[in-house]
Amino acid sequence: MPELSKKDEDRLLRYRGQSLRLLQDAMDEIRQGRWERCEELLWGSLTLAVKGVALGRGRELDGLKAVEDFALELGQENRDRRIRESFTKLASFGETAEKVRESRIRADHLVATLEDVTGAVEKLWDMAPGGDLLSALLRGEMDGMDEPEEMDRGPLR
């Protein structure tokens, strides 16, 4: 893995924080039954996680197609179905949510997609430099840390 500059380390930390916050917000939206908003948040979280792994490997990804292709590559490299299929599953999320809303199907498919994407995001951050920080965050050991003041809100920056 290439050594990261201070600027890239800061960007990676920002990506990680935003990605995890978006993932948490997606969970909150699910609890409120707002599937459309959940989908947007999951796209952002997953995109930032893939970009974080790429940054940790010294690669810049420009555009959603490059992000999706790199996710597929990572999924194949790690033999992880969740990473490999994450963007494909999210692409059909809105249509499935519509069917659930119209009560034609149960929400099981949405829950399965949510679990897969959440697992993919967690696995991706484990692969990025500092992945052990994610594990500590998930265990609640980092709750007392201050968050950076300025956050880049765009998932593709």
Q: By the 8 A CB rule, do 128 and 91 touch?
A: no
Q: Taking a C-beta distance cutoff of 8 angstroms, is the pair 83, 123 a contact?
A: yes
- How does pLDDT run along the chain (157 residues), one tens digit per residue? 678 888 989 999 999 999 999 999 999 998 887 888 899 999 999 999 999 999 999 999 999 999 999 999 999 999 999 999 999 999 998 888 888 778 766 777 788 888 999 999 999 999 998 765 555 555 555 554 444 434 343 444 3
Q: What is the pTM of this model?
A: 0.80
User: Is the C-alpha dihedral spanning 96, 83, 26, 62 positive or negative?
Assistant: negative
Q: Domains in the chain, ordered, with CATH?
A: 8-138 (1.20.120.330)
